[in-house]
Structure 1
């Protein structure tokens, strides 16, 4: 009998049991997000029902949607199972999973739990954490989970100050780079991102390529950034690889073309995060006649309101003229289900005048 994709709501009550039931029937679970509007649920269910799935497919996840509409990603069970042993050396006890189950990083940990891995908890028994930097920051700002000793952090950039704050509380921090399509690619245990066990990294013309057993089968009924060349795969992330240490420079399709310059948003965002009072930031292109786009930034304050003067002073000291934001916005950043800043939504809100502009 042909397997089908079963779309589950994101309620956590008995979710492990429901995932087990779907898998035991030979079907493929896909967990949705309770915060979705009804039309999004309808679209995802229609796509899941309309297309045949490969025989080896066992799990369906969603891309994070940081740059557009989420896609359904199909993967075999082996593509996750083969990484369980490496993750088990990091997450060794009950694990806190703050990101919604619709997030591929949370669903990975639930799949691991079904195969004898650390069991998910949401109480003071948690000794491990698997989630995004934003979720880790929230945990550190609270007095909850006093027994946490290990944090596996992925999904977006980990601020060095956040790593230091966690370590000061006695929490060992292991961050990683991965993607819904590639799973784990590289780990950083404090000395830079290095290839995840079993993965091989290469950079071709500035673009990161990965050869590993963890790559997904592909997308369901849609195209996406995943490309293959034999055993190698890429999702288009720009990177440098120097003596085994990987430095990411962002997705190629997020680059801002402004006049004669190409600006990588992640480079400017890294500078903005060093400014006192900035919790997080997103840089994007704002359409401008004659030059294509100008660099704009939305900053999320930490505490007191920010001023354009202090922001401009810092970027002027660290960024070339073409890379300095000309427009500034402020407010709480919209985020994806996994906690990543939603770049496309930030840009949409700025263009429609729905966020505060700093004068």
Structure 2
């Protein structure tokens, strides 16, 4: 394999891209979509059932953007801490209109991680809402934030703006493009700051450009043949890259309607709302989809045409449930925050179960050798959607050498270009001289006890260097049962955890990922 240039995705030759699509800013995209689809077209709605049209989002963006601009400088990173509500759209595009950079803050990350993100992002101002803080009981979190930044509440902004400010916003909406151009924002400038999930350690600030986001949307729109007539149900938070790019920005670019729901954990409430919203597309994770599926009636998902899951592997039990109960084939995708985020995806036409699909068109990859693994390697990727870089001490992005990003994932790629994730590089243990994938061990456990949640970590061992520990919510879990299942499958005893720890529930991040630092702390206790 050519390491300097990498191997292009097989989808590249099949699905040509149109680079001018991403040669603009996010706010210019909004205005272009408004002109194309009409200002009166509803585009975003939430549980309040008051849809916002392109016109209302643009006017709201101009009103709010002027207020934000008075408190900040062009190019400044501005914290946004809001749930999945329609008001996120005018806040987000208001910052874009005046060339400020939204930095989406994960309010579930805890005070330490949140304050660290504010420092890492050089954030002086955080935008939130009093109602959200009260309903989510985040007063203590806000108190910690106020030690590091100024907090601006949208309710206070609304009172201060008044009728005159709103009328000015209506007028500004007609000359929004000219106002935006005064600030000189370009496609390759930073458009968004997201923070990695922290599933393996401290979150890192990721700087994404306008071109990164728009090219990624163009890539998966072409791959999945999405169209304006579609409608999406998005329960994923906008501080998560999947919820932001796919769930917020993409619908505006495509012209499709999106229904925002504040929490993916409301397993009972979500299925009826999917039916009522008329959604044809649903995005989520395996954990969430399993919960929704267990609570749903077949009629709730009758209109769904496309269900795409990411962030974690789809478990066989989840796949079978959706197939048998709802007649829906779940599609597994793969993304990382650093690629804005979609990297690969299965499609209705190209779906190979057990893989995460093929690399998106316009991307290239290379595999770095990993000692002890002959048929897999560490995945590096390059393409128009790959980030500008990680934020460093001065708040600026450190450019990637040659544009290559190290995903940290160990993968294999078959002859047709389908990618199978073998595990995170950090999630391999060396036992008896062999490299053991912790994800593979988890898969064995899941096959043995499919109705429960499990996680496997490696902890230090005085004799062998490392030992595997299973953390599970199955109270009756016994190592002998695992050993028997492993022998039946021909799995070596080396891959059976030496110790089992039972918990009431596994620690999870708001994104649906397993909180491995918390799991490891449990295993070490």
Runs of 4 or more above 4 Å deviation:
226-229
Point out the structure with max Rg over C-alpha.
Answer: 2
CA contact under 8 A between 1:57 and 1:74: conserved in structure 2? yes
Bigger drift between 202-211 and 333-342 goes to 202-211
Q: Deviations over 1:239-291 (max 9, x none)?
A: 11120222211121222133433221111112222124443322111221132
Following the alignment from structure 1 to structure 2, what is the Cα–Cα distance between the partners of residues 44 and 216? 18
Distance, in Å, in 2 between the alignment partners of 1:45 and 1:291 is 41
1:214 aligned residue (379, 385, 392): 385
- Give me the whole-angstrom Cα distance separating, in 2, the residues matched to 1:72 and 1:229: 18
Cα distance, 1:178–1:277 mapped onto 2, change above 3 Å: closer
Query: Measured at CA, do residues 231 and 74 of structure 1 come closer, stay the same or move farther in structure 2, by a change above 3 Å?
Result: closer
Aligned to 2:292: 139
Q: Distance in 1 between matches of 2:400 and 2:464?
A: 34
**Deviation string, structure 1 residues 135-164 (Cα, Å, up to 9, x no partner):** 111221122743333111110111233223
Q: Secondary structure at the match of 1:349?
A: helix
* CA spacing shift, 1:312–1:97, aligned 2, 3 Å: farther
Bigger strand share: 1
Structure 2 distance, partners of 1:213, 1:72, is 19
Relative to the length of structure 1, the TM-score reads 0.87
Q: What is the CA-CA distance between 1:328 and the residue it aligns to?
A: 1.1
Alpha-carbon distance in structure 2 between the residues aligned to 1:99 and 1:185: 18
Q: Is the 8 A contact 1:210 1:232 kept in 2?
A: yes
Structure 2, gaps ≥5 residues long: 1-72, 125-185, 262-272, 370-376
| 2:194 corresponds to 1:36 | no
In proportion to residue count, which structure has more helix?
2
Aligned residue for 1:70, secondary structure, equals coil
1: CA distance, partners of 2:481 / 2:523: 21
Residue 66, structure 1, aligned to residue 199, structure 2 = yes
CA RMSD of aligned residues (A): 2.6
Which residue does 2:3 correspond to in 1?
none
CA distance in 2, matches of 1:104, 1:28: 15
Distance (whole Å) between structure 2 residues aligned to residue 210 and residue 188 of structure 1: 18
The equivalent residue for 2:320 is 164
Taking the aligned partners of 1:322 and 1:117, their CA distance within structure 2 comes to 52
Q: Does 1:230 pair with 2:392?
A: no
Partner of 1:4: 76
Matches within 5 A, 1:1-359: 2-13=74-85, 14-49=87-122, 56-88=189-221, 89=224, 92=227, 93-109=230-246, 110-121=248-259, 122=261, 123=273, 124-125=276-277, 126-143=279-296, 145-146=300-301, 147-168=303-324, 169-182=326-339, 183-189=341-347, 190-191=351-352, 192=355, 193-205=357-369, 206-221=377-392, 230-243=402-415, 244-301=417-474, 305-318=476-489, 319-331=491-503, 332-352=505-525
Change (3 A) 1:310 1:221: same
Whole-angstrom CA distance in 2 between matches of 1:337 and 1:349: 19
| Contact 1:277 1:306 (C-alpha < 8 Å) held by counterparts | no
Gaps of 5+ in 1: 353-359
Count of residue pairs the alignment pairs up: 346
Do the aligned partners of 1:28 and 1:58 also contact (CA within 8 Å) in 2? Answer: yes
